[in-house]
Every structure is written in structure tokens, then in C-alpha cells.
Amino acid sequence: MRTTRWMGLVGAAVMMACSDDPVTAPGPVPPLATVFSATGRIGATVSQFRAILGAPNGGIAGEQPAGRREINWDGAAAIPFNNRNDFPADFFNTTVKAGAVFTTPGTGFRNDSTLFSEINPDYATQFLFFTAPNVFAPIGSNQFDQSFQVAGQPTPAVVRGFGVVFSDVDLADQTTIQLFRQDGSSLGTYSAPVRSDEGGFSFVGVTFADAIIARVRITLGTGALGANVEDISAGGAVDLVVLDNLIYSEPRKVR
Ligand SMILES: [Ca+2]
Ligand SMILES: [Ca+2]
Ligand SMILES: [Ca+2]
């Protein structure tokens, strides 16, 4: 059984299947979802998730027969946009051809090499990078959507697996990924676990047998970053969360 096969390997991480959960996987015939979840020392679970999706395809243009894509925000091509609030929403399918485009109800996106300390110096003690040195967040909102395209093309695509590394999840069930089919119906909302140590990481990833995920809504805690906004663990009113690696299976043209 898929669930138990990995149980011995996850250590402190928790992994569970929720295919029979009518709340998180609605629909007449709920698709079988496998959820990977970890906090603190998340490395082993992230490695497992990568391995299940397949070998890295980097920024290779065009749909590949298998494998995964991964955005770590740290590449040289992104440097000109570091620490600004206008990171291009289509950067990861134009400059770098990784099949990802973003939208946000906020005002922009920020690829940050200072742990967002240029927005608020206190943030340097809240956030950490999983892969050095950059982390990422929307600006003016704590939410954004990732949609998928065939790498290097404006062709809508779907994936079978999607996962995110978060930094500084303080509140339960507020930092989530909600997955959607191409018709806009939800495939469920999955929570990142609360960090198990100060400044620690959280990971949540979901896979399906088939490529049915067309869009992901990523919600980071309960508030947007701001010069006068403190994290809930530093006396503030909201849970501020940023993200690092986005990991997803090869975007496939909708067939
Ligand atoms: Ca990074
Ligand atoms: Ca915190
Ligand atoms: Ca926080």
C-alpha cells in the first residue's frame, strides 16, 4: 500500500493519504490524493516528494515525457529582480521555461535575498531560506495563484503533483495549498503544518495518479508583509509566512 510503503522513511515527518476524506476531496468520485507533510527537518520528505515526481527538467523548453520542475528563486537570471516588488509574474515560463505563471490579488511579487529585512528589519529573525539565498512572497496580499503552461509556451497545462516549502508557519490550518481542476472545481485544500522549531520550515505536497491540477491557490498565513506589520510570534496580529521551493511534476498539455 502506497501509504505504508513510505512510513518507515519519513522519520519525524508525517505522511497520510486522505483519499477517502469527503471534506478535503469533494466530487462525485474523489480522486486519490496522497499528501506529504513535514515540519522542522523537512529534507527527507522533500527528497521523497522530488523522487516520486521524477528527475529535474530544469528550464528545458517544451513538454518533457516525465520528471519534475522546481523553482528555488536562486538562479542567476532572477538576480536583476531581487529585492524589488515587481518580479515578473511570467518569469518562470518566459525567461526561465518552467511552465509556471502567477497571479495575485496584491500588487506584485518579490524575490528576496535579505529575508525581506528591507521591508521590515524584524523579518530577518522570522524567516529562513530552504535553498540559499532567496525566498519569495506576493506583495500587498498573502495569497497568489500558480497556473501551469507547457514549458516555454502559452499553452494551458496540468500537473499530477505539487508541493511547497514554507518558512515560519505559526498558526495551524492558515497556510494552505488549494488545488483546482481545469474546470475550476476544487481538488481540496491542504494545510502546511505549524513549524516545529523557531524559524523552521514546513512542507506540504500532494500527488494524484493523473495530471489533473490546473491551478494552485497558495495562502501564506493570515496577513501580508509590511513595514509596520509584525509576525504573530513577535507581538504582531497576523501570521506572516513566506515560501521557498515550489516543486511540481512536468506540466502536460491538456488532452
Ligand atoms: Ca531559495
Ligand atoms: Ca514567527
Ligand atoms: Ca509566521
244 alpha carbon to ligand 1 midpoint, in Å? Answer: 5
46 alpha carbon to ligand 1 midpoint, in Å? Answer: 14
Residues 220, 146: Cα–Cα separation, whole Å:
13
Q: For residue 80, what pLDDT is reported?
A: 96
227 alpha carbon to ligand 3 midpoint, in Å? Answer: 15
- Four-point Cα dihedral 138, 139, 143, 149, nearest 10: -40
129 alpha carbon to ligand 2 midpoint, in Å? Answer: 14
Q: For residue 91, what pLDDT is reported?
A: 98
Q: What is the mean pLDDT of each run of 10 residues along the chain (255 residues)?
A: 33 42 59 95 97 98 98 97 98 98 98 98 96 98 98 98 98 98 97 88 98 98 98 97 98 94
Q: For residue 13, what pLDDT is reported?
A: 39
Burial tier of 67 (Cβ tally within 10 Å: 0-12, 13-18, 19+)? middle
Cβ proximity of 24 and 17 under 8 Å: no
Note the ligand closest to the C-alpha atom of 238.
3
Q: For residue 11, what pLDDT is reported?
A: 32
